[in-house]
Structure 1
Amino acid sequence: MNLLDPSRLDPAELAKSFPPDFLWGVATSAAQIEGAGAEDGKGPSIWDHFCRQPGRINDGSNIDVACDHYHRYKEDVALMKSLGLDCYRFSLAWPRVQPLGQGAWNEAGFAFYDRLIDELLQAGLQPHATLYHWDLPQALDENGNGGWLSRDVVARFADYGAEVARRFGDRLASIATHNEPWCTATLGYETAQFAPGHKSRAESLQVAHHLMLSHGDAIAAMRAETKTRLGIVLNHTPSFPATPTEADRRAARIDDGLNVRWYMDPIFRGAYPQDAIDFVGADAPKVEPGDLERIRQPLDFLGINFYTRSLFTADGTTVKGPGKRGFTDMGWEIVPEVFAQHLVRLAREYNPPPMYITENGMANADRVVDGRVPDHERIAYLSAHLQALATAMSLGADVRGYFYWSLLDNFEWNSGYVKRFGLVHVDYETLTRLPKDSAHWYRDFIAQHHARR
Structure 2
Amino acid sequence: MNFLWGAATSSYQIEGAATADGRTPSIWDTFSRTPGKVKNGETGDVACDHYHRYPDDIRLMSELGLRAYRFSVAWPRIVPEPGTVNPKGLDFYSHLVDTLLERDITPWPTLYHWDLPQYLEDAGGWPNRDTAYRFAEYAALVHDRLSDRVTNWTTLNEPWCSSLLGYAAGEHAPGRTEPGKAIEAVHHLLLGHGLAVQNLSGKVGITLNMTHVTPATGSPEDADAARRIDGLQNRLFIDPVLLGSYPEDVVKDLAHLSDFGHVREGDLDTISLPIDMLGINYYSPALVAAGNESGGLTPWIGAEDVRWVDGGRARTTMNWEIDEQGLLDLLRRIQKDYPAVDLYITENGAAFADEVSADGGVHDAGRVDYLSRHIEACAEAVRDGVQLKGYFAWSLLDNFEWAHGYGQRFGIVHVDFETQKRTPKDSALWYASRIKRPL
Q: What band does the TM-score fall into relative to the shorter chain?
A: over 0.9
Aligned to 1:300: 276
Aligned to 1:8: none
**What displacement does 1:239 show?**
1.7
Matches within 5 A, 1:9-408: 19=1, 21-100=2-81, 102-142=82-122, 146-222=124-200, 226=201, 228-284=202-258, 285=260, 286-315=262-291, 316-324=305-313, 326-370=314-358, 371-408=360-397
Unaligned runs of 5+ in 1: 1-18
Unaligned runs of 5+ in 2: 292-304
Decide whether the 8 Å contact of 2:289 with 2:309 is kept in 1: no
CA distance in 2, matches of 1:356, 1:181: 17
**What displacement does 1:113 show?**
0.4
Query: RCO (CA 8 Å, sep 6+): is it higher in 1 or 2?
Result: 1
Decide whether the 8 Å contact of 1:46 with 1:141 is kept in 2: yes
Corresponding residue SS for 1:281: coil
- Give the counterpart letter for 1:56 in structure 2: K
CA distance in 2, matches of 1:318, 1:310: 10
Tell me: CA distance 1:394–1:449, structure 2 relative to 1, closer, same or farther (3 Å). closer
In the alignment of these two chains, the number of paired residues is 423
Aligned to 1:424: 413
**What displacement does 1:425 show?**
0.2
**What displacement does 1:243 show?**
1.9
- Give the counterpart letter for 1:155 in structure 2: Y
Decide whether the 8 Å contact of 1:312 with 1:318 is kept in 2: yes
TM-score, length-scaled by structure 2: 0.95
Decide whether the 8 Å contact of 1:59 with 1:418 is kept in 2: no
TM-score, length-scaled by structure 1: 0.92
CA distance in 1, matches of 2:254, 2:173: 23
- Give the counterpart letter for 1:94 in structure 2: W
CA distance in 2, matches of 1:420, 1:291: 39
Decide whether the 8 Å contact of 2:216 with 2:289 is kept in 1: yes
Decide whether the 8 Å contact of 1:310 with 1:318 is kept in 2: no
The runs of 4+ residues in structure 1 deviating greater than 4 Å are: none
Decide whether the 8 Å contact of 1:188 with 1:196 is kept in 2: yes
CA distance in 2, matches of 1:320, 1:40: 48
What's the C-alpha RMSD, in Å, of the aligned pairs?
1.1
CA distance in 1, matches of 2:362, 2:312: 24
CA distance in 2, matches of 1:331, 1:400: 29
CA distance in 2, matches of 1:351, 1:368: 46
CA distance in 2, matches of 1:79, 1:351: 38
CA distance in 1, matches of 2:37, 2:51: 25
- Give the counterpart letter for 1:287 in structure 2: V
Decide whether the 8 Å contact of 1:323 with 1:334 is kept in 2: no
CA distance in 1, matches of 2:406, 2:28: 14
Corresponding residue SS for 2:190: helix
- Give the counterpart letter for 1:280 in structure 2: L
